[in-house]
Amino acid sequence: MRNREKATYHARREVVLAVARDLFAERGYRATTVRDIADASGVLSGSLYHYFDSKETLIDEILSSYLDELILVYRGVVAEGGDAQSTLARLVAGAFGALDRHRAAGLVLHSERHHLDRLPRFAHLVEREAEIEHIWSAVIERGKTSGELRPDIDGRLTYRFVRDGVCAAARWSCPATELAGQFLALLLDGLRG
């Protein structure tokens, strides 16, 4: 039956994707071979190409779905309104929440962003990250203008610290909410409190 076939196809595609996610997270994108993924998925390497055009398509889907969610969440946070501080709080919470659901993507992005960014294939990653950076920077700059946040700290720089700190956190085994809490505390009030 047509539907059953479609469902099967989709189910297997998801299995492969999930396996790839795990392996990329564990070993890194480049260190994981297509055959590794096929073996761990219970299919043969040739069959992978029924589901995905290439290894790049695979990681692209993993990364894109992370960035898509991230952008969606961030846009939602900003749309909700509120002062800069509470917005930042919700951005941080959103960041760790998304990371929790896309650990592999966070890890790969953290480890291999530089490498991937050089490939034309992944130009759209750069664009998406630029939008994210813009959202954060805008919030911070608004806080500086309103006097909520100190004026002597660069928004873009701060975002970068945040971005890398969040991704790095994917490597640590610690509940997302706890990480988010500590991170926010540090970000807003610093070690001196």
Partner DNA sequence: GATGAATGAGGATTCATTCAT
Partner DNA sequence: TATGAATGAATCCTCATTCAT
| List of residues contacting its own copies (CB under 8 A) | 27-28, 30-31, 85, 88, 107, 111-115, 118, 140, 143, 148-150, 152-154, 157-158, 160-161, 163-165, 167-169, 171-172, 174, 179, 182-183, 185-193
Q: Minimum CB separation from its own copies for residue 112, in Å?
A: 7
Burial pattern 73-108, b for ≥16 Cβ within 10 A else e, equals bbeebbeeeeebeebbbbbbbbbbbbbeebbbbbbb
- Cα distance between the two ends of the chain: 63
Binding partner selected for residue 124 from DNA, its own copies, none, CB under the kind-specific 5 to 8 Å limit: none
- How would you class 170 by CB atoms within 10 Å of its CB: exposed for 0-12, middle for 13-18, buried for 19 or more? buried
Using alpha carbons, select from 129, 176, 134, 172 the residue that is nearest to residue 156: 134
Q: Encoding tokens for residue 72?
A: 């969606």
Using a 10 angstrom Cβ sphere, with 0-12 exposed, 13-18 middle and 19 or more buried, the burial of residue 137 is middle
By a kind-dependent CB cut-off of 5 to 8 A, residue 70 interacts, out of DNA, its own copies, none, with none
Binding residues for DNA restricted to 66-85, rule: CB under 7 A? none
Q: Which is nearer to its own copies, 60 or 112 (CB)?
A: 112
Fill in the per-residue mask, 99 to 138: x = in contact with DNA (CB under 7 A), - = not in contact: ----------------------------------------
| Residue 159 C-alpha from the chain's centroid | 14
Closest contact distance (angstroms) between CB of 121 and DNA is 9
Q: Single out the residue of 43, 78, 138, 187 in contact with DNA (rule: CB under 7 A).
A: 43
CA distance 139 to 90: 11
* Residue 160 binds which entry of DNA, its own copies, none, CB below 5-8 Å type-dependent: its own copies
CB of residue 68 to DNA, shortest distance in Å: 22
Answer with the entry of DNA, its own copies, none that 183 interacts with (C-beta below 5 to 8 A by kind): its own copies
**Whether the Cβ atoms of residue 12 and residue 4 lie closer than 8 Å to each other:** no
